[in-house]
Amino acid sequence: MNLSQLDTLAQDIIIRAGERIKQSLHKEMTITEKSSPSDLVTNIDMETEQFFVKEVSEALPEHRLLGEEGFGDTITDWDGYVWIVDPIDGTTNFINQQRNFCITVGIYKDGVGELGYIYQVMTGELISAIRGQGAYQNGVLLPRLKNVEFEDSLIGVNASWVAPNRHIDHHQVAKLIKRVRGTRSYGSAALEISYVVTGRLDAYFSMRLSAWDVAGGMVIANEVGALCGTLGGGEFDLLKKQPFIIANPALFEELVKDYLIS
Amino acid sequence: MNLSQLDTLAQDIIIRAGERIKQSLHKEMTITEKSSPSDLVTNIDMETEQFFVKEVSEALPEHRLLGEEGFGDTITDWDGYVWIVDPIDGTTNFINQQRNFCITVGIYKDGVGELGYIYQVMTGELISAIRGQGAYQNGVLLPRLKNVEFEDSLIGVNASWVAPNRHIDHHQVAKLIKRVRGTRSYGSAALEISYVVTGRLDAYFSMRLSAWDVAGGMVIANEVGALCGTLGGGEFDLLKKQPFIIANPALFEELVKDYLIS
Q: Which of A85, A117, A141 is the last residue of a domain?
A: A141
- Of A89, A93, A86, A91, residue with least CA distance to A33: A91
- Of B170, B199, B6, residue with least CA distance to A162: B170
Q: Is there a single domain that holds both residue A201 and residue A86? A: no
What percent of chain B has pLDDT above 70? 100
A119: which residues sit within 8 A by CB, 6+ positions away?
A14, A15, A18, A102, A103, A104, A125, A126, A127
Residue A80 sits in a domain of what CATH number?
A: 3.30.540.10
Q: Is there a single domain that holds both residue A79 and residue A206? A: no
d(CA B77, CA A214) in angstroms, rounded, equals 54
Q: Which H, E and C letters describe A120-173, residue by residue? A: ECCCCEEEEEECCCCEEECCEECCCCCCCCHHHCEEECCHHHCCCCCCCCHHHH
* The length of chain A, given as a count of residues: 262
d(CA A250, CA B20) in angstroms, rounded, equals 33
B234 has pLDDT over 90: no
Q: Hey, is the C-beta of B35 within 8 angstroms of any chain A C-beta?
A: no
Q: Is there a single domain that holds both residue B100 and residue B227? A: no
Q: Is there a single domain that holds both residue A75 and residue A178? A: no
Report CB contact under 8 Å: B96, A181: yes
User: Are the beta carbons of B243 and B231 closer than 8 angstroms?
Assistant: yes
Q: Is there a single domain that holds both residue B105 and residue B125? A: yes
Structural domains counted in chain B: 2
Nearest CA in chain A to B39: A181
B79-to-A83, B82, B109, B113, B214 alpha-carbon distances in Å? 64, 8, 7, 12, 19
Q: Which of B116, B141, B166 is the last residue of a domain?
A: B141
Q: Is there a single domain that holds both residue B214 and residue B96? A: no
Nearest CA in chain B to A98: B200
Q: Is there a single domain that holds both residue A134 and residue A221? A: no
Q: Is there a single domain that holds both residue A180 and residue A130? A: no
User: For the residues B76-80, what does the mean pLDDT come to?
Assistant: 95
- Which DSSP letter does residue A94 get? H
Q: Hey, is the C-beta of A233 within 8 angstroms of any chain B C-beta?
A: no
Largest CA distance in chain A: 51
Nearest-CA distance A59 → chain B (Å): 37
pLDDT at A79: 96
pLDDT at A38: 78
* Residue that wins the pLDDT comparison between B37 and B53: B53
Q: Is there a single domain that holds both residue A11 and residue A95? A: yes
- Of B68, B65, B62, residue with least CA distance to B13: B65
Q: Is there a single domain that holds both residue A154 and residue A120? A: no
Nearest to A159 among B37, B97, B159 (CB): B159
Report CB contact under 8 Å: A185, B181: no
Q: Is there a single domain that holds both residue B179 and residue B245? A: yes
Chain B residues whose beta carbon lies within 8 Å of the beta carbon of residue A186: 184, 186
pLDDT at A262: 64
User: Are the beta carbons of A91 and A36 closer than 8 angstroms?
Assistant: no
Interface test with B, best of A40, A145, A181, A198 (most B CBs within 10 A): A181
Report CB contact under 8 Å: A160, B154: no
What percent of chain B has pLDDT above 90? 92
pLDDT at A245: 97
Which residues of chain A have a pLDDT value below 50? none
Q: Hey, is the C-beta of B60 within 8 angstroms of any chain A C-beta?
A: no
Residue A219 sits in a domain of what CATH number?
A: 3.40.190.80
d(CA A13, CA B143) in angstroms, rounded, equals 35
Q: Identify residue B95 by its one-letter amino acid code.
A: I
Angle of helix A3-24 versus helix A43-59 axis, rounded to 10: 150
A139: which residues sit within 8 A by CB, 6+ positions away?
none
User: Are the beta carbons of B145 and B248 closer than 8 angstroms?
Assistant: yes
| Residue A207 lies in domain | 150-260
Q: Which of B113, B141, B169 is the last residue of a domain?
A: B141
B262 has pLDDT over 70: no
ipTM at complex level: 0.95
Report CB contact under 8 Å: A183, B37: no
Report CB contact under 8 Å: B187, A184: yes
- Of A69, A190, A186, A185, residue with least CA distance to A125: A190
Chain B residues whose beta carbon lies within 8 Å of the beta carbon of residue A202: 96
Q: Is there a single domain that holds both residue B122 and residue B191? A: no
* Interval B141-185: pLDDT, tens: 999 999 999 999 999 999 999 999 999 999 999 999 999 999 999
Other C-beta atoms lying within 10 Å of the C-beta of residue B152:
17
* The length of chain B, given as a count of residues: 262
Other C-beta atoms lying within 10 Å of the C-beta of residue A250:
18
pLDDT at B240: 92
